[in-house]
Amino acid sequence: MEQFVILKEFLQRHEAETAQGLLEENGIKSILLADDCGGLRAGMTFGCAIKLKVGINDLEKATETIKVLDD
């Protein structure tokens, strides 16, 4: 089983999903961890980060891939 590590934390679910989509387009598997009932109660995450995790072997490529979102 592959070990997953936190790539980045977001305060807004749509930002996390955008980053996840970009990773997916580049062949990088990822998972989102958020305490918001699967997105049904987005307001529940106020002040709590949504964690975007990738496999440890993809960390470097994933870091470079999402840099375009910071521009």
Q: What is the reported pLDDT for 41?
A: 57
pLDDT at position 59 is: 97
- Distances from the Cα of 58 to the Cα of 12, 15, 30, 52, 68, angstroms: 23, 20, 9, 13, 17
pLDDT of residue 27: 97
- List domains and CATH numbers for the chain: 4-70 (3.30.70.1530)
Contact in structure between 4 and 53 (CB atoms under 8 Å): yes
Determine the 3-state secondary structure of 48 from DSSP.
coil
pLDDT means per 10 residues, the chain with 71 residues, are 92 93 98 74 65 97 95 74
In 3D, which of 8, 3, 10 has the Cα closest to residue 62?
8
Chain-centroid distance, C-alpha 7? 7
